[in-house]
Amino acid sequence: MTAPIRPHFDPSFFAPAPRRDARFTVVDQWLDCVNFEPGDPKRLIEFLHRQMNEEINGMENAARSLVDFPDAEWDLRMCVARQCADEARHVQMFQRLFESRGGTVGEYPVMNFQFRIITKVDNLIGRLAVQNRSFEAEGVDAVEPEIEKARKEGDWELADLFDAQLADEICHVRFANEYIAEASKRDPRSVMQVGRALDYGGKAFRQVMGEEFLHRVDYGTNQQGRIEAGFKPEEVRFAAAQRQRK
């Protein structure tokens, strides 16, 4: 088997990492995580641990946006604050299930790429485009088949967790989509900020994940979930077409 090619990683391309306590081993790239093959009984346990930390990133990102942009519209700040609370609840959900199944916090390496990418963006509309409209929209796609898989396997506890997470993520994507659309009408320059942020986010994501990870992505597009999250039908069709080309 050919060894995977490690993508170039430039630390200066990213914001500083958030702090973690001594329990955690933090790595910068997907290849340095513990990536169990499908069918390995430890694969789900490791996923729960990794997802727990990604939800911490989501909470930290929302909190940082509240701090960094205190003059944003009140309604938008309330949406971001609710997202921060949702992400904190998700952390507890994943930790509780992980530990109930025999896991120990810090047992596997974690990445903080979401925080390091999103906080590098210096404007709020760009952060919402990357965090909510991009990363969380991918979550809307990825979690749907996991819900069905858990139900088929009779793992109702896991299915309920994913179902609750999906409902929250749809809300997070929707408020960002609505704000981006309104802001773009008020000030066309916002479109450029969104475009630059998404271009940067895509380049940074590839430094973290590399082609090996992208080839492993095997979920489709949750078209109904994306419509509920505020994407236009043509945007959903475009996303589905892009996914099929991978």
pLDDT tens across 4-20, in order?
789 999 999 999 999 99
- Dihedral of alpha carbons 102, 168, 230, 79, sign: negative
170-191 pLDDT, tens digit each: 999 999 999 999 999 999 999 9
DSSP bridge partners of 111: 27
The answer to whether position 6 is within a domain reads no
Q: Domain containing 164 — which CATH number?
A: 1.20.1260
Going by their DSSP bridges, the two strands 110-111 and 26-27 should be labelled as parallel
The answer to whether position 88 is within a domain reads yes
192-212 pLDDT, tens digit each: 999 999 999 999 999 999 877
The answer to whether position 122 is within a domain reads yes
The answer to whether position 10 is within a domain reads no
Higher local confidence (pLDDT), 59 or 244: 59
135-169 pLDDT, tens digit each: 999 999 999 999 999 999 999 999 999 999 999 99
Please tell me the distance from the alpha carbon of residue 53 to that of residue 106, in angstroms, as a whole number: 10
Q: Which residue has the tokens 């790429």?
A: 113
The answer to whether position 5 is within a domain reads no
Q: Which pLDDT belongs to residue 12?
A: 97
Q: Which pLDDT belongs to residue 1?
A: 56
Please tell me the distance from the alpha carbon of residue 23 to that of residue 105, in angstroms, as a whole number: 7
Please tell me the distance from the alpha carbon of residue 240 to that of residue 229, in angstroms, as a whole number: 15
The answer to whether position 100 is within a domain reads yes
The answer to whether position 46 is within a domain reads yes
Residue 108 structural domain: 20-245
85-126 pLDDT, tens digit each: 999 999 999 999 999 999 999 999 999 999 999 999 999 999
Instruction: Tally the domains of the chain.
Output: 1
